[in-house]
């Protein structure tokens, strides 16, 4: 434990002792007032003179002393180690004097003596407890001895004095033991508090270092804790989390969470009700809910994972195996394929080939070209990690791409519309990869559109409250069935007889290689492909 951590409990302990002494001073003033106003001393005929008249003077002196002690205690002067012994010794002295003047063996003033010793022991944490009891005992016995001496009373009167003295020591010892136990309990509580603080700091550091986002919410959906990754995934500033509820920060996660709570907080089942996929801030996320305490509604911990990142890792494993395969394909297949294609061309040049054989040779040529294109596409996958990223000005790049695409594909500009927000967006991307992705998306979109005015659209805009550039390619063709849409980005999946099924797969791989994300979304009329790219920080 550090010196600073040790000092903090000591400061709080001293402050608590001063507060206890202030409370005791208030009690002392109240007792002094009661003694002065309501107590009527009895005459002591056995003592010479009218000594009982001193009772009022002693009570007034006790009241004055109590007021002065209260004022000094209020300003916490002098030090507690000096103030407390002086005040307690003065208390014992005043009470002994009052007992001496009253001269009643069964007087209730002895209880005030016991209370003073008990309070002093508790305030001082047991220090000097027996010393205060010894002073009180000496005063009690001297008082009884003097009274016995001058009044010739029987020695039996010492019984009450002895019992009162024993009570003082017993109370002092009990208060001392209780104070020690309290001190040990306070130290243990202080140590546990420091351990909890350290544990909370360790948990916060671990949560901040996690790749997943973490949200801790109570049963009222109030967010108690979150880490930096949660801010990044949900695209929310740290100032917006203060005293906010989950449904205020991210309704997309709050609604499934409430459904999970209503289902009984089940964490296992055929449909995994505690795991959901959501799109938040143009990002695919997977959220999982775990209850804080089993059987008790004390909130939950929500783990947020970047689903696209998980898919990227899975694709990288597949790509590593595919890369090794493509190296063998390039050497083992392309050479004999080239020989077949060359031989086929020589046979086609022969003028004596019958017409039906010409048809067969044409089929051979078409399939040779198709296999060669598949090999090129597969080899392109092996080059996804070799990106040459640079800052690309989208306004000028998209404009040049649009003009070139319309010219090469012989498409009228009225049929292919372009919309660019005036936001001067720049992205960090490989120009060759970006051109290949857009060309593939636009070519597929034009092929499946009605090829009329406004059939194909290319829109570039910035997402609200984020630094994400959206590139959307939309066509007015037939909508893709749901069972087909689930396999769009799988390799070698195609619905066309002449397609290779690698276009969209390669497009997503190249996009992820440049830190972007390519998605499909059904449009109101037709289909839509969206590529999300982080805006470059220049």
**Looking at the domain assignment, is residue 12 inside a domain?**
yes
Q: Are 368 and 493 in contact (CB under 8 A)?
A: no
What the block records as the tokens of 57 is 């003077």
In a shared domain, residues 506 and 490: yes
In a shared domain, residues 402 and 371: no
pTM listed for this prediction: 0.41
- The phi and psi torsions of 424 (rounded to 5 degrees) equal 50, 50
Q: What is the pLDDT of residue 42?
A: 45
In a shared domain, residues 399 and 527: yes
207 contacts: CB under 8 Å, gap ≥ 6? 214, 225, 227
In a shared domain, residues 127 and 224: no
**Count of CA atoms in the C-beta half-sphere (13 A) of 238:** 5
In a shared domain, residues 356 and 222: no
Q: What is the pLDDT of residues 472-520, one digit of tens each?
A: 999 988 888 777 777 777 777 776 766 666 778 888 888 888 888 888 8
Q: Which domain holds residue 529?
A: 389-534
- 3-state SS of 257-308? HHHHHHCCCCCCCCCCCCEEEEEECCEEEEEEEEECCCCCCCCEEEEEEEHH
Residue 449: which of 482, 420, 415, 496 has the closest Cα? Answer: 415
**How many structural domains comprise the chain?**
4
In a shared domain, residues 334 and 399: no
Return the CATH number at 481.
3.30.565.10
**Segments of the chain scoring below 50 in pLDDT:** 1-9, 41-51, 105-106, 155, 268-270
Give Cα separations from 3 to 14, 140, 155, 194, 198 (angstroms). Answer: 17, 45, 58, 13, 15
Q: What is the pLDDT of residues 455-467, one digit of tens each?
A: 899 998 887 656 7
> Which string of DSSP letters, residue by residue, matches 434-459?
HHHHHHHHHHHHHHTS--STT-EEEE
Q: What is the pLDDT of residue 132?
A: 79
Last residue of a domain, one of 253, 288, 306: 306
- The phi and psi torsions of 399 (rounded to 5 degrees) equal -65, -45
**Looking at the domain assignment, is residue 204 inside a domain?**
no
d(CA 86, CA 78): 11
Q: What is the pLDDT of residues 46-95, one digit of tens each?
A: 444 444 566 777 778 888 888 888 888 888 788 777 878 888 888 888 88
In a shared domain, residues 456 and 317: no
In a shared domain, residues 157 and 48: yes
Q: What is the pLDDT of residue 198?
A: 81
Return the CATH number at 292.
3.30.450.20
CA angle 444, 525, 401 (to 5 degrees): 35
d(CA 19, CA 252): 52
d(CA 365, CA 158): 131
Q: What is the pLDDT of residue 1?
A: 43
In a shared domain, residues 19 and 88: yes
In a shared domain, residues 360 and 401: no
């Amino acid at each position: 434990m550090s010196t600073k951590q040790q000092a903090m409990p000591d400061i709080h302990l001293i402050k608590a002792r001063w507060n206890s002494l202030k409370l005791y001073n208030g009690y002392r003033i109240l007792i002094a007032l009661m003694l002065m106003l309501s107590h009527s001393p009895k005459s002591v005929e056995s003592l010479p003179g009218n000594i009982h008249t001193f009772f009022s003077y002693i009570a007034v002196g006790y009241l004055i002393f109590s007021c002065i002690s209260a004022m000094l205690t209020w300003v916490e002067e002098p030090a507690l180690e000096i103030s407390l012994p002086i005040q307690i010794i003065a208390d014992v002295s005043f009470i002994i004097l009052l007992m001496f003047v009253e001269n009643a063996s069964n007087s209730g003033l002895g209880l005030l003596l016991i209370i003073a010793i008990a309070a002093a022991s508790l305030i001082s944490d047991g220090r000097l407890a027996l010393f205060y009891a010894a002073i009180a005992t000496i005063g009690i016995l001297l008082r009884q001895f003097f009274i016995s001496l001058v009044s010739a009373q029987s020695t039996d009167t010492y019984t009450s004095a002895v019992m009162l003295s024993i009570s003082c020591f017993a109370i002092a010892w009990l208060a001392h033991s209780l104070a020690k136990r309290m001190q040990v309990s306070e130290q243990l509580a202080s140590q546990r508090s420091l351990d909890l603080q350290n544990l909370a700091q360790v948990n916060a550091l671990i949560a901040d270092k996690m790749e997943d986002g973490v949200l801790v919410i109570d049963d009222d959906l109030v967010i108690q804790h979150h880490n930096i990754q949660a801010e990044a995934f949900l695209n929310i500033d740290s100032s917006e989390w203060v005293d906010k509820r989950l449904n205020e920060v991210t309704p997309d996660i709050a609604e499934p969470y409430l459904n999970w709570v209503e289902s009984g907080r089940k964490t296992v089942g055929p449909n995994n009700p505690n795991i959901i996929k959501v799109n938040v801030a143009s990002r695919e996320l997977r959220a999982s809910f775990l209850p804080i305490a089993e059987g008790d509604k004390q909130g939950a911990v929500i783990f947020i994972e970047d689903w696209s990142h998980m898919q990227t890792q899975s694709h990288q494993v597949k790509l590593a195996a595919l890369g090794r395969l493509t190296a063998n394909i390039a050497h083992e297949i392309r050479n004999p394929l080239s020989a077949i294609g060359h031989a086929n061309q020589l046979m086609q040049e022969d003028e004596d080939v019958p017409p039906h054989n010409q048809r067969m040779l044409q089929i051979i040529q078409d399939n040779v070209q198709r296999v060669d294109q598949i090999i090129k596409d597969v080899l392109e996958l092996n080059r996804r990690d070799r990106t040459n990223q640079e800052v690309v000005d989208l306004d000028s790049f998209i404009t040049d791409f649009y003009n070139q695409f319309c010219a090469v594909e012989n498409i009228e500009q009225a049929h292919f519309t372009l919309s660019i927000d005036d936001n001067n967006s720049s992205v960090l991307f490989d120009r060759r990869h970006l051109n290949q992705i857009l060309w593939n998306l636009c070519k597929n979109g034009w092929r499946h559109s009605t090829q009329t005015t406004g059939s194909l659209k290319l829109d570039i805009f910035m997402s609200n409250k984020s630094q994400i550039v959206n590139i959307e390619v939309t066509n007015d063709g037939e909508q893709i069935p749901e069972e087909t849409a689930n396999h769009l980005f799988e390799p070698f999946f195609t619905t066309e007889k002449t397609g290779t099924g690698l276009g969209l797969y390669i497009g997503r791989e190249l996009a992820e290689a440049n830190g972007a994300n390519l998605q499909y979304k059904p449009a109101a009329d037709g289909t839509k492909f969206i590529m999300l790219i982080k805006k470059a920080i220049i």
